[in-house]
Amino acid sequence: MRKNRPLTFILFVLIVSTDVLETVAQFCFKKTALLQHSVTITSISDALRFISVAVANPFLWLALLAVAVLFCLWVTILSKIDLSVAIPVASFSYITIPLVSIIFFGEKIPFLRWIGIGFILLGVILVSLSSHRQGKET
């Protein structure tokens, strides 16, 4: 078993970059979905029409590109830091995605959900601090 590695500033920036890419991907997937206008698929021709509209949408391709880059970054991050540290720190998208949904899609976020988002942010801070301390102790 390998020794635990601390969360460095560079790794933190890479993890935040994955959150940005995750937010971009989700935004683009939502834009793609909005162009479908509540499609109901009841036949093969409906499914083919759905796919053809989605594939023709540049937002879908941007989302897939973001996911591909996200995958490469994530593999790099996980080769350098423990999964138990990376996952909580990578939870910033739980904050950025609701903000994007408010700004660009006019969605309403209830107060109770904001409280939950606040707890997630607090958890991210605590995990980051505990990992930083662990690196100093070893």
DSSP letter string, the chain: -PPP----HHHHHHHHHHHHHHHHHHHHHHHHHHTT-S----SHHHHHHHHHHHHT-HHHHHHHHHHHHHHHHHHHHHTTS-HHHHHHHGGGHHHHHHHHHHHHH-----HHHHHHHHHHHHHHHHHHHHHHHHHHH-
Tokens of 127: 């995990």
Domain ranges of the chain: 9-137
| Cβ(71)–Cβ(19) below 8 Å | no
Q: Which pLDDT belongs to residue 8?
A: 85
Q: Which pLDDT belongs to residue 59?
A: 96
Q: Which pLDDT belongs to residue 136?
A: 60
Q: Which pLDDT belongs to residue 19?
A: 93
Contacts of 71 (CB under 8 A, 6+ apart): none
Q: Which pLDDT belongs to residue 2?
A: 57
Mean pLDDT by 10 residues, the chain (138 residues): 71 91 96 83 88 92 97 94 83 89 95 92 80 60
Q: At what angle do helices 93-105 and 9-34 cross, to 10 degrees?
A: 40
